[in-house]
């Protein structure tokens, strides 16, 4: 069966931003006295702050301290790091090819809505998206499946007619309970063994575009 739509992760998939997220978390957590390192944060990138904070610092995101840290991280990311972010090569060309082939596109990110809007502009693909959903629309972020269910509701297609593009194990873990397969990219910094369970693995958007006609998207 040919897919009818694509759910698109943004950070690490369309935009080269995972390293910036790591640094933002490290700087804010260290400022609050937590001796965390980039090596501790990297394996958790891709899950939302509501899941990351308890794992790395033992802080509940809904607590007063958790909310303070989350806001400071978001502000730091947007003010210090976001201006220097760039899309991965051929991102717009890949998404344009998808649209030309009749695929409907919905963005799905564990970032807040205001970050998603800015990241889609950085990726230069906001006009290609039919819908988008974010952590602002869900109770729990990845690896919980809430975000994927929200994307399915927004696009109005059954799970078996969609495939997701993602770059972390948490994309695969979130999509599985919703019945959505994932095409994974290595460009987010994870190895193939971390992306076990993916339908297919490519280096990045440019790699998938170059092999589009033999990919699951063309099946």
Tell me the whole-structure pTM to 2 decimals: 0.95
Position 135 scores a pLDDT of 82
Position 66 scores a pLDDT of 96
- Residue 97 has which token pair? 């090819």
Residue pLDDT, tens place only, 101-125? 999 999 999 888 888 999 999 999 9
Alpha-carbon distance of 128 to 6, in angstroms, equals: 12
Position 155 scores a pLDDT of 95
Alpha-carbon distance of 56 to 10, in angstroms, equals: 23
Regions of the chain with pLDDT less than 50: none
Position 140 scores a pLDDT of 82
Does an H or E element contain 107, and which?
strand 104-108
Alpha-carbon distance of 110 to 139, in angstroms, equals: 11
What contacts 41, CB < 8 A, 6 or more positions away?
22, 25, 26, 52, 56
């Amino acid at each position: 069966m040919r897919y009818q739509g694509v759910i698109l992760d943004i950070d690490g998939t369309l935009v080269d931003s995972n390293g910036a997220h790591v640094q933002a978390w490290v700087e804010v957590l260290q400022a609050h006295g937590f001796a965390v390192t980039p090596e501790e944060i990297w394996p958790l990138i891709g899950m939302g702050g509501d899941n990351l904070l308890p794992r790395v610092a033992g802080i509940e995101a809904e607590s007063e301290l958790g909310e303070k840290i989350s806001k400071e991280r978001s502000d730091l990311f947007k003010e210090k790091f976001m201006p220097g972010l760039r899309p991965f090569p051929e991102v717009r060309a890949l998404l344009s090819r998808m649209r030309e082939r009749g695929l409907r596109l919905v963005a799905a990110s564990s970032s807040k809505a205001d970050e998603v809007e800015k990241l889609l502009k950085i990726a230069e693909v906001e006009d290609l998206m039919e819908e988008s959903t974010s952590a602002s629309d869900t109770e729990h972020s990845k690896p919980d499946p809430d975000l994927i269910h929200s994307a399915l509701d927004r696009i109005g297609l059954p799970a078996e007619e969609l495939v997701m593009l993602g770059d972390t194990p948490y994309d695969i873990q979130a999509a599985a309970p919703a019945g959505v397969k994932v095409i994974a990219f290595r460009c987010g910094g994870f190895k193939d063994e971390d992306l076990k369970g993916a339908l297919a693995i490519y280096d990045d958007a440019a790699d998938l575009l170059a092999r589009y006609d033999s990919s699951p998207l063309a099946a």
